[in-house]
Amino acid sequence: MSPDPSPQALVRAEPEASFEVTFDGRPLTALPGQSLAAALWAAGILAWRTTRGSGAPRGAFCGIGACYDCLLTVNGRPNQRACLVPARPGDILTTQEGTGHADLAV
């Protein structure tokens, strides 16, 4: 008996070529149409933000943009919801600490 076909094989998908993004200086592979959260998960990264008060790690929780746990700094812009933002070639992703505006603190 042959193994179950992959979802890709079942729908006869022919995805476009993968591309590279970086997370905290580490190169990662992403696929066209993949969210940043999905690309991070695929790389085994489950947390990419820390909370304001306690510094607790956070990553994707709801996956639909309602909870704001997945905030990430993308190309220098803080507070981007990783579950909603599509990955683009060359994106530079960085861990977001607190509000993402530490450089504005007084």
Q: Tens digit of pLDDT for each residue in 3-60?
A: 778 877 888 877 789 999 999 999 999 999 999 999 999 999 999 998 888 888 989 8
Tokens of 25: 């200086």
pLDDT band at 103 (very low <50, low <70, confident <90, very high): low
Cα(96)–Cα(49) distance, integer angstroms: 5
Note whether residue 72 is domain-resident: yes
User: Considering its fold, how many domains does the chain have in total?
Assistant: 1
Q: Residue 62 sits in which domain range?
A: 16-97
CATH of the domain at 34: 3.10.20.440
pTM over 0.75: yes
* 106 has pLDDT over 50: no
Structure confidence at residue 10 (pLDDT): 82
In order of 23, 44, 94, 97, the CA distances from 73 in angstroms are 10, 18, 5, 9
pLDDT tens digits, one per residue of 86-98: 999 999 999 998 7
Note whether residue 91 is domain-resident: yes
Cα(89)–Cα(29) distance, integer angstroms: 9
Note whether residue 9 is domain-resident: no
